Amino acid sequence: MIKVKNLHKKFDSLTVLDGIDEHITQGEVVVIIGPSGSGKSTFLRCLNLLEDVTEGEIYVDDELINSPKVNVNKIRQKMGMVFQQFNLFPHLTIMENITLAPVLLKKMTKEEAIKKGQELLERVNLSEKADAYPAQLSGGQKQRVAIARALAMNPEIMLFDEPTSALDPEMVGEVLDVMKDLAKSGMTMVIVTHEMGFAREVATRVLFIDQGVVMESGTPEEIFNNPQNERTQLFLSKVL
Amino acid sequence: MTGFQAWASNLSDLFYRCFIKEDRYKLLVSGIGVTIKVSLLAVVIGILIGMLIAMCNLSKRKPLKLIGGIYTDIIRGTPSVTQLMIIYFVIFATVNLDKWIIASIAFGVNSGAYVSEIIRAGIMSIDKGQTEAGRSLGLNAFQTMTRIVIPQAVKNIFPALCNEFIVLIKETAIVGYVGLMDIQKAGDFIKSATFIAFMPLIGTAIIYYVLIKMLTLLLNRIESSLRKSDVR
């Protein structure tokens, strides 16, 4: 589904990604862990071209996406993105946040989008908030709306960039529950997170990224119980 | 006659000579019309030019950025009287347009430079995450700008734009330089005709003040209704 070949990303002279080769297949829940500044968020942002790639190739459904010939907007419609800071649109109601893109991009009529929106809000347990504005919601509620907003486009892949890092501790659970639910439904997911318990429970595969390369990759059992790489061991000894 | 009575009758005599005699108030009334006409058209032109230049300044394309930069630089670096006279006597010298329209263009060109900075700052004040969220949903740059960024930026831009509008009205007091009879010029004319400085100049000031006060109240009302949708 997503193939990454020899991905490099430089910010001026600073190398953030130093050659990543990765293959993410349909239905996988890939959790990316690693120290801060290791390049894991950058890697995720490269996948939907929020960062332009310095060198290397990214294929989505066998289509090379980091090429000037490609319609970036079409590619992004296949990939939902959830941000650390939620990034809900404060001037729109919750329902408008969810329906804006599908209606504007003519994926659905307004009625269809609202119906879909109601389903999604139900799924994230926020039906009663449809007419509220983002400012009236708690952090956890905002992030659940953000997930619903991304799902409204019927994406094939969902990308999560530290979705719980900006939340108060007591709200982390409600967001993770929604994500677990999503994983169970068979959605392909790539998640950057510091929630090791969640990674262990939900991931089909864990990637440990450090210094811009994938140091180790494997099932949660392999990574958490029996890490091979020295850096993985060091990192896990600090966070677990 | 007491001192006060003498003072009062002297004042009413001045008032009569300056405003009533020979229907001089009519000059001021038509002056108000000219000031309003020129300001209104200028503010529209200013906003249009401002949006255009702001787009140039925010653009990633080097030549557009350069044009925007040069424009703002020249307008900010020269006095508005000079700009008005150049536009009137040089650029539009051979063009057959109403004086007030040419003056409006001059003030609009001037105001555009400042408006562009206001718009640019307003747009840049919107968190980058908003753009990223829009783009990540598959909206193109234009859709993201018009549906997500600008609606939020407007609330930041509006107060500064009101201020610019008020500055612009006062700036138009120099249209006398190209022979238009606005409020200032009318006051000045009365001063020359009557050899009285106090009454016409204070009158001019009061008219400007009342005009701007009324506008400020109106704009404040619009601003607070804009804020109503702001549940923060």
Q: Per CB distance under 8 Å, which residues of B are interface residues toward A?
A: 127, 129-130, 132-140, 143, 147-148, 151-152, 229, 231-232
Q: Which residues contact A238 (CB under 8 A, 6 or more apart)?
A: none
Q: Is the pLDDT of residue A225 over 90?
A: yes
Say if residue A180's pLDDT is above 70.
yes
The number of C-alpha atoms within 13 Å of A176 and in the hemisphere containing its C-beta is 23
Task: Say if CB A73 and CB B140 are below 8 A apart.
Answer: yes
How many residues does this entry show for chain A?
Answer: 240
pLDDT one-digit tens code per residue, B68-86 = 999 999 999 999 999 999 9
CA separation (Å) from B18 to A56, B74, B91?
81, 41, 37
Q: Is the pLDDT of residue A168 over 60?
A: yes
Taking the complete model, does pTM exceed 0.90, yes or no? no
What ipTM does the predicted assembly reach?
Answer: 0.92
pLDDT value, residue B120: 94
Closest CB to A85 among B129, B135, B140: B129
Please report, in angstroms and rounded to a whole number, the separation of the first and last CA atoms in chain B: 64
In angstroms, rounded to a whole number, what is the distance separating the alpha carbons of residues A124 and B202?
A: 67
Contact B152 A91 (CB under 8 A): yes
pLDDT single digits (tens) A2-61 = 999 999 999 998 999 999 999 999 999 999 999 988 999 999 999 999 999 999 999 999
Q: What is the pLDDT of residues B164-196, one digit of tens each?
A: 999 999 999 999 999 999 999 999 999 999 999
Least CB-CB distance to A89: which of B130, B136, B138? B130
The average confidence (pLDDT) of chain B is: 93
| Residue B232 clears pLDDT 60, i.e. is over it | no
Residue A91's pLDDT band (cuts 50, 70, 90): very high
Contact list, A50 vs chain B (CB under 8 Å): 132, 135-136
Of A117, A150, A119, A148, which is closest to residue A131 (Cα–Cα)? A117
Tell if the CB–CB gap between A149 and B152 is shorter than 8 Å.
no
- Contact (CB<8Å) A91/B231: no
Share of chain A above pLDDT 70, in %: 100
| Nearest-CB residue to B136 (from A76, A89, A90) | A76
Task: Note whether A236 contacts B: Cβ–Cβ < 8 A.
Answer: no
CB contacts, 8 Å: A85 with chain B: 127, 129
